[in-house]
Amino acid sequence: NYRPDIIGTRNGDIHYFTFGTSDAVADSIQYISVTTDGITNQIHKMNAVDSVTGSAPPVAGFRYVDGDSCFILYSGPEAHSVWNARGCTGDPIGILNISAPVRYSLSQNYPNPFNPVTRINFSIPVRGYVRLALFDLLGKEVAMLVNSDKEAGSYIIDFNASAIPSGVYFYKLESGEFKETKKMLVVK
């Protein structure tokens, strides 16, 4: 057996994913879960997975969904299909793997101008509180996109501007000492 490739929590339980062998399970990806009481330790062959659109580098990682974590796994030595555990709900907000960012960054939204949906990417190199908010030209906050603790990683936020009028807006990312603001244009 090898050290865990990824570790995370889901519904309060700790989950480990690693490669290894055992008498009960042939060479395969193995899933070990430990409940919050620390008693349960189970090994499962990873066959209860659903394929999802996209690809991942040849490492394992977690797909973060609003404080819950659903795993993703690669299927070979190169980038292949992404797999995730059954029972995961919600839209993914990013993928964290061993290529964690080394600096803070906030990308320009795309598309820009847009109607009504645009995508905002940001990265944080360390775990911390993250706030991503949208402001109008007068500096009034019109939407809160992220307002929570986040693990180090890269995140994708799809923003739907259906509820706000056309115009110029600013979005601001704050985490630790990092602050950056970008401009976006909603055209309806």
Tokens of 27: 């060479």
Find where tokens 């360390």 sit. 126
Asked if residue 13 has pLDDT above 90, the reply is no
Distances (CA, A) of 187 to 140, 165, 166, 168: 19, 8, 5, 9
Q: Quote the CA–CA distance of 109 and 181 in Å, as a whole number.
A: 11
Task: Give the model confidence (pLDDT) of 40-64 as tens digits.
Answer: 333 333 333 333 334 334 344 444 4
- 43 in Cβ contact with 30 (< 8 Å): yes
> For residue 139, what pLDDT is reported?
96
Lowest mean per-residue pLDDT among 35-39, 62-66, 160-164, 165-169: 35-39
Does residue 188 or residue 48 have the better pLDDT? 188
Please give the average per-residue pLDDT across 160-173, as a whole number: 97
Does the pLDDT at position 73 exceed 80?
no
- Sorted by sequence, the CB contacts under 8 Å of residue 87 that are 6+ apart come out as none
Greater model confidence, 165 or 48: 165
d(CA 128, CA 151): 7
Q: Where are the domains of the chain?
A: 6-96, 105-186
pLDDT band at 103 (very low <50, low <70, confident <90, very high): confident
pLDDT in tens, 74-84: 433 433 334 44
Q: How confident is the model at residue 70 (pLDDT cuts 50, 70, 90)?
A: low
Q: Does residue 131 have a pLDDT over 50?
A: yes
Q: Is residue 87 scored above 70 in pLDDT?
A: no
Query: How confident is the model at residue 150, as a pLDDT?
Result: 86
* CATH code linked to domain 105-186: 2.60.40.1930
- So what's the pLDDT on residue 97? 42
Q: Tell me, what's the pLDDT at 170?
A: 98
Task: Work out the number of other CB atoms within 10 angstroms of the CB of residue 20.
Answer: 15
Burial class for 142, CB neighbours closer than 10 Å (0-12, 13-18, 19+): middle
